[in-house]
Structure 1
Amino acid sequence: MKNIASLFKIGFTSITLIFAMSACSDDFMEPDSISTFDNAYIYSNVDDARNGVNAIYSYFNQDAFRSRLSNNFTGNTDIEHQSGWSSNGDRYQIWNLDALPSNRDLDIVWTYAYRAIRDANIAIEGITLSGNLENQDQTIRATMHHLLGEAYTLRAYWYSMLIYYFGDVPYVVSAPIAGQDFNLPKTHRNEILSGEIQQLIAVEQNMKWADQTTYGVEQVNREYTLGMIARLALQRGGYYLKPNLSLGRESDYLEYYEIAKQYTQKLITLKDRPLPEDFSQIFLNNVTFQTPTNSEILFEVPFSLNSGDVGWNIGIEVEGGPTSSHAYGSGNNYMAMPVTYYFSFDTLDIRRDVTCGLYRINKDFEAEFINGPMNISQGKWGRHLLTTPPGASTAKSTGINWPMMRYADVLLMFAEAENELNGPTAAAQEALKRVRQRAFKSEDWAEKVDQYVAEISADKSSFFDAIVDERAWEFGGEMIRKYELIRWGIYSEKVAETVEGLKKLADEANNGTTDLPDYMYWKLDQQGEFTILNPNRKVIAPPDDTWNQVPFLLDLHDETTNYDEWITRDWENYINGPNPGVVRYIFPIPTIAVENSQGTLKNDGYGF
């Protein structure tokens, strides 16, 4: 259920000259302004302190997050793609890694990230100075400690994103006051990450578990903060792009793998839970507004019924509009999946058909095959599964929550960190097995789980490669792959493999030497269910004329250019950018931020 959206009527505290958000609804993500009292009064009581912290959440409901950071900014990778070269529009510049400082999308993300950080700093200072962290009332004391943890965790998230997209950025850790110099210089990204990690380590033990909070996984909780410590530690211990367009990694990186191991292990020890057996149900819960605690999702962004873009710009494509026969509206998919990813799955892996959508919903509310292999959808979500149709002409604002971290991520981060520190130990192998067991039927575990893990555990390198693969299969469509490829230092390598893989599939289909489906055959069965005859193999002809034939791998070939243009161009700047073999994923600081800094900030390095 939409706990926060329907019940959490947050009075966002508007502090004179500091909080400048207009009141537009009674929703958690769009909070009302109820006060102009000063900071000391606001954080003197639990209710208003809660409202002050809720102000930080409101930035998830801006385009900076709901249609940028959550999905649009995160391609191209080896498991996602979009054509950036076909337009000069802002999002296309991002996809093509050639964004200008005037890019509006960059400005939106920069602006709202620092607004969220500002409001986090206000809350942190207000709570810390309130005296309520030492209040004699245990309930007040515990609530204030948890609110402090929420504020620190949300601040850490926004700094993590700023670093991934802009590199070194100003590090603001205090609430704004009159006369303060706001034009701070850049701080090295590793100093920021180290500082945020230590702050989370200091507050996590005083936070509440999701099942102890009012809104469970729809608000930041101790599980998520523990997971964020690990995620930030792996970012800090990983590779990063230097201004000279080379990859760097600090000599102390193992210290951060140790932190990642320690805090994933802490969560596993203190709050372990079985992974839900039904992989598809995890995401169906998002679409049907179910938010179980002590389950898979640790924290998800709580969108109200009039906000959020999941099922509009990501998910199964739905053709709606006023002439459609259904009332589910229109949904697109801005980030498709390359067919190499689809065929990378074991054919028995349950996750493939949940993750990779080979169908779309037409105006007659019937499923039909996608328009070619370049349009495989992020199949985990779809507006056509909403319990209440939002209306034929609707598009945005589906109300579907966005998962920020899952427990499987914690298990795989633990396995990765343990392997980096000690090799593929029994503990690392067991964590990997737990994730793979859900991916296969129990009768297949001997081969697909036990035998597989034994084979890839020969040494640290092969186990790491298996983690790289497993994270692709487990989190496809959840748009975190970009950040993983960056910290592993294999971004360019993996996208180059993807392009070569696509060329190979195209060549073999065109030459008639493929065993994979050059054509696919599909139909709606007597119950109206979408069925594919040959999802894994080539067939010469269907058994009867009830099947629809569509070109599949043959669609990768072009008679004039040999390969479809998207194969050779979508990833081109990721392979042969300013420094071939290194992805220039860092973008320029927005023009307005540079101009307003009065000479403190400038775009230098990274080939700008």
Structure 2
Amino acid sequence: MVNKMKNIYNSAKIIIASLSLTLVTSACSDDFMEPDSISTFDNNYIYSNVDDARNGVNAIYSYFNQDAFRSRLSNNMAGNTDIEHQSGWNSNGDRYQIWNLDALPSNRDLDIVWTNAYRAIRDANISIEGITASGNLENEDETVRKTMNQLLGEAYTLRAYWYSMLIYYFGDVPYVVAAPVAGDNFNLPKTDRNEILSGEIQNLIEVEENMLWADETRYGVEQVNREYTLAMIARLALQRGGYYLKPDLSQARGSNYQEYYTIARDYAKKLIDLKDRPLPTDFRQIFLNNVTFQTPVNSEVLFEVPFSLNSGDVGWNIGIEVEGGPTSSHNYGSGNNYMAMPVTYYFSFDTLDVRRDVTCGLYRINTDFEPEFIDGPMNISQGKWGRHLLETPPGASTAKSTGINWPMMRYADVLLMYAEAENELNGPTMEAQNALRRVRQRAFEDADWAEKVDQYLTSVSSSKDSFFEAIVNERAWEFGGEMIRKYELIRWGIYSEKMSETVEGLKQLADEAYNGTTDLPDYMYWKLDEEGKFTILNRNSRVVAPPDETWNQVPFLLDLHDDTTTYDEWILRDWENYINGPNPGVARYIFPIPTIAVENSQGTLQNDGYGF
């Protein structure tokens, strides 16, 4: 049933994407002499009934199935951070330029994101206008009325997502809020990012109460629902109230930032009050649900992108590495991992925190379908997903298109956003502490709560600053590999600071291992037990020698040292532009507007500021 739902939903998106593009092409043609053009007739018809209106809104979702999202925004472009990283200096390729913060205006990946973002926004505007003009928002038929209000909320929420991403990557951008009409001026200037975010937040505030909860919708968490929209209000409000990069490469935040922290707190709290749910106790199962195509409602995931069974890159460019191909002994295909976990992140976890070994993959799957230790400490993978866990092997020669959904928002995020906003406004109140407490409790066994939860909360709740640091750390441990850390570091204004801490931490680990003063694993020892289970002898500490010869020895922290450069080159260079860029101490995360967009704007847009 789940697979059927995914196929039906995504097929509809693809079909209606084509229809929507046809309508837009007609709407932008020169033949507009008659008062009612064919495009106007079709658009009016589509939004006159719930079935076709559903298809019209589905067109907005189709852009999740483009490379702009499925491999770029969802994961590739969201590094480097203190918990996820990739080397960008060893190639001039498009994604390497982005990882190295030195992308050119000709960068194809930036063009893909810019183009598809505005196509999604265009289709959202068409749906918003069509639904609003249909009269069905006040229809006497309750089913029609509720459905059309839900669809309107979906369109607004999806548009807000794309504007949020455009702002994170390009700063001020054109703010288009109307459906395209022939004769309009399509070359709009940039709008201040704060104005855009304020407008999108207000739109969501106005529509959320008329939306449906996930358990009231046809596709549950595979479509935008009221839970996700409430959570997006909080997320956007924290973005609006947070720090951002100005064209002079200084960091700023609005003088009214507390107003937006209030919105974030209130709407996170509204979701908690109206639709609270216990956090699932099994942290690993949250992500195993993605791989096995399970989509429970009223649980952890509020909304996830529903990739069809022949689409999506989860388990291809993110997740546990799988060596496959036609000569392999298994039929699971090949999976890479473009974003590794710094070993500093691995050792930042409490050793009893169950999230660490779910999040940080220390093994890969070889061609014999056996787990083996990763190739050094720079290749710790996102362990939350893996194509080798698919219930039906996709084929020995497969790679992309695993069908694994991508989670966009989890309930733990709502709890931590509430705790953060409440702390910013009032300090570490008991309400803020209890929200953090719920997330911490799942991370540890009940027997450890007294020390790891209660005592920990007491120690970090002595001040607003110490509680904020606890939130920064908790979000790292909770969401590693989910590729949202970049946006958090930006809005906190500590992006460069955290990159510097990471490099210094890696150097310290290397020095201590080389000098023989570390208590951490300079080598790790692993084997497959008699049942074929992958076992590591010393995940947490250094051992002088293994108990017997059945253990494989691999350099771990010692691998961070280089006899020529002292430290491995990736330590010295992966984060360099984040620390000592055009303005040292400030990460220039803003990228140039793509060349084609600048050229097509007829002089309206240009790449000014940010050192471009």
Q: TM-score range by the shorter chain?
A: over 0.9
Shift of 1:67: 0.2
Task: Tell me if structure 1 keeps the 8 A contact 2:23–2:43.
Answer: no
Task: Tell me if structure 2 keeps the 8 A contact 1:318–1:360.
Answer: yes
Q: Work out the CA distance in 1 between the residues paired with 2:41 and 2:473.
A: 53
Q: Counterpart in 2 of 1:412?
A: 416
Q: 1:326 aligns with which of 330, 334, 343?
A: 330
Q: 1:375 aligns with which of 365, 374, 379?
A: 379
Using a 3 Å threshold, how does the CA distance of structure 1 residues 331 and 130 change in structure 2: closer, same or farther? same
Q: Counterpart in 2 of 1:108?
A: 112
Q: SS at 1:310's partner residue?
A: coil
Q: SS at 1:2's partner residue?
A: helix
Q: Counterpart in 1 of 2:437?
A: 433
- Answering whether residue 467 of structure 2 is matched by residue 466 of structure 1, we say no
Using a 3 Å threshold, how does the CA distance of structure 1 residues 260 and 284 change in structure 2: closer, same or farther? same
Correspondence 1:446-485 to 2 at 5 A: 446-485=450-489
Q: 1:212 aligns with which of 216, 240, 250?
A: 216
Question: Matched residues, percent identical?
Answer: 83
- Answering whether residue 504 of structure 2 is matched by residue 496 of structure 1, we say no
Q: Which runs of 5+ in 1 are unaligned?
A: 22-34
What are the superposed Cα offsets for residues 216-256 of structure 1, whole Å, 9 maximum, x if unpaired?
00000000000000000000000000000000101000000
Q: Counterpart in 2 of 1:67?
A: 71
Correspondence 1:85-100 to 2 at 5 A: 85-100=89-104
Shift of 1:351: 0.1
Q: Work out the CA distance in 2 between the residues paired with 1:321 and 1:312.
A: 13
Q: Work out the CA distance in 2 between the residues paired with 1:526 and 1:361.
A: 18
Q: Counterpart in 1 of 2:159?
A: 155
- For 1:260, the aligned partner's letter is A
- Answering whether residue 579 of structure 2 is matched by residue 575 of structure 1, we say yes
Q: Counterpart in 2 of 1:32?
A: none
Q: SS at 2:309's partner residue?
A: coil
Q: Counterpart in 2 of 1:5?
A: 6
Task: Tell me if structure 2 keeps the 8 A contact 1:296–1:407.
Answer: yes
Q: Work out the CA distance in 1 between the residues paired with 2:21 and 2:163.
A: 25
Q: Counterpart in 2 of 1:593?
A: 597
Q: Counterpart in 2 of 1:27?
A: none
Shift of 1:16: 7.3
Q: 1:254 aligns with which of 250, 253, 258?
A: 258
- Answering whether residue 276 of structure 2 is matched by residue 276 of structure 1, we say no
- Answering whether residue 51 of structure 2 is matched by residue 47 of structure 1, we say yes
Q: SS at 1:523's partner residue?
A: strand
Q: SS at 2:535's partner residue?
A: strand
Q: Work out the CA distance in 1 between the residues paired with 2:570 and 2:170.
A: 27
Q: Work out the CA distance in 2 between the residues paired with 1:59 and 1:285.
A: 23
- Answering whether residue 175 of structure 2 is matched by residue 171 of structure 1, we say yes
Task: Tell me if structure 1 keeps the 8 A contact 2:20–2:123.
Answer: no
Q: Work out the CA distance in 2 between the residues paired with 1:251 and 1:452.
A: 33
Q: 1:133 aligns with which of 132, 137, 153?
A: 137
Q: Counterpart in 2 of 1:197?
A: 201
- For 2:375, the aligned partner's letter is N
What are the superposed Cα offsets for residues 540-560 of structure 1, whole Å, 9 maximum, x if unpaired?
000000000000000000000
Shift of 1:12: 1.1
Q: Work out the CA distance in 1 between the residues paired with 2:264 and 2:542.
A: 44
Shift of 1:6: 2.5
Task: Tell me if structure 2 keeps the 8 A contact 1:370–1:376.
Answer: yes
- For 1:7, the aligned partner's letter is I
Q: 2:389 aligns with which of 377, 385, 391?
A: 385
- For 1:541, the aligned partner's letter is A
Using a 3 Å threshold, how does the CA distance of structure 1 residues 524 and 87 change in structure 2: closer, same or farther? same
Q: 1:534 aligns with which of 528, 534, 538?
A: 538
Task: Tell me if structure 2 keeps the 8 A contact 1:2–1:302.
Answer: no
Q: Counterpart in 2 of 1:286?
A: 290
Q: SS at 2:287's partner residue?
A: helix
Shift of 1:18: 3.6
Shift of 1:2: 3.0
Q: Work out the CA distance in 2 between the residues paired with 1:517 and 1:36.
A: 67
Q: Work out the CA distance in 1 between the residues paired with 2:401 and 2:453.
A: 40
Shift of 1:4: 3.6
Task: Tell me if structure 2 keeps the 8 A contact 1:496–1:575.
Answer: yes
Q: Work out the CA distance in 2 between the residues paired with 1:287 and 1:70.
A: 16
- Answering whether residue 514 of structure 2 is matched by residue 510 of structure 1, we say yes
Q: Work out the CA distance in 2 between the residues paired with 1:66 and 1:445.
A: 38
What are the superposed Cα offsets for residues 86-114 of structure 1, whole Å, 9 maximum, x if unpaired?
00000000000000000000000000000
Q: Work out the CA distance in 2 between the residues paired with 1:135 and 1:221.
A: 21
Q: SS at 2:468's partner residue?
A: helix
Shift of 1:7: 3.1
- For 2:611, the aligned partner's letter is G
Using a 3 Å threshold, how does the CA distance of structure 1 residues 547 and 580 change in structure 2: closer, same or farther? same
Shift of 1:5: 1.9
Q: Counterpart in 1 of 2:570?
A: 566
- Answering whether residue 310 of structure 2 is matched by residue 309 of structure 1, we say no
Shift of 1:274: 0.1
Task: Tell me if structure 2 keeps the 8 A contact 1:5–1:302.
Answer: yes
Task: Tell me if structure 2 keeps the 8 A contact 1:368–1:530.
Answer: yes
Q: Work out the CA distance in 2 between the residues paired with 1:137 and 1:5.
A: 29
Q: Counterpart in 2 of 1:547?
A: 551
Q: Counterpart in 1 of 2:525?
A: 521
Task: Tell me if structure 2 keeps the 8 A contact 1:18–1:176.
Answer: no
Q: Counterpart in 2 of 1:118?
A: 122
Shift of 1:83: 0.4
Q: SS at 1:152's partner residue?
A: helix
Shift of 1:380: 0.1
Task: Tell me if structure 2 keeps the 8 A contact 1:287–1:386.
Answer: yes
Q: Counterpart in 1 of 2:611?
A: 607
Using a 3 Å threshold, how does the CA distance of structure 1 residues 549 and 171 change in structure 2: closer, same or farther? same
Q: Work out the CA distance in 2 between the residues paired with 1:347 and 1:301.
A: 32
Q: Counterpart in 2 of 1:222?
A: 226
Shift of 1:321: 0.3
What are the superposed Cα offsets for residues 552-574 of structure 1, whole Å, 9 maximum, x if unpaired?
00000000000000001000000
Shift of 1:38: 1.6
- For 1:98, the aligned partner's letter is D
- For 2:253, the aligned partner's letter is R
Q: Work out the CA distance in 1 between the residues paired with 2:262 and 2:84.
A: 30
Q: SS at 1:187's partner residue?
A: coil
CA RMSD of aligned residues (A): 1.1
- Answering whether residue 270 of structure 2 is matched by residue 266 of structure 1, we say yes
Q: SS at 1:397's partner residue?
A: coil
Q: Work out the CA distance in 1 between the residues paired with 2:21 and 2:412.
A: 43
Using a 3 Å threshold, how does the CA distance of structure 1 residues 431 and 517 change in structure 2: closer, same or farther? same
Q: SS at 2:293's partner residue?
A: coil
Q: SS at 1:412's partner residue?
A: helix
Q: Which runs of 5+ in 2 are unaligned?
A: 27-38
Q: SS at 1:260's partner residue?
A: helix
- For 2:199, the aligned partner's letter is G
Q: Counterpart in 1 of 2:189?
A: 185
Task: Tell me if structure 2 keeps the 8 A contact 1:56–1:154.
Answer: yes
Task: Tell me if structure 1 keeps the 8 A contact 2:24–2:180.
Answer: no
Task: Tell me if structure 2 keeps the 8 A contact 1:15–1:39.
Answer: no
Q: Work out the CA distance in 2 between the residues paired with 1:62 and 1:330.
A: 21
Q: Work out the CA distance in 1 between the residues paired with 2:22 and 2:295.
A: 37
Using a 3 Å threshold, how does the CA distance of structure 1 residues 176 and 500 change in structure 2: closer, same or farther? same
Task: Tell me if structure 2 keeps the 8 A contact 1:16–1:38.
Answer: no
How many residues are treated as equivalent by the alignment? 595
Q: SS at 1:319's partner residue?
A: coil
Q: Work out the CA distance in 2 between the residues paired with 1:42 and 1:588.
A: 37
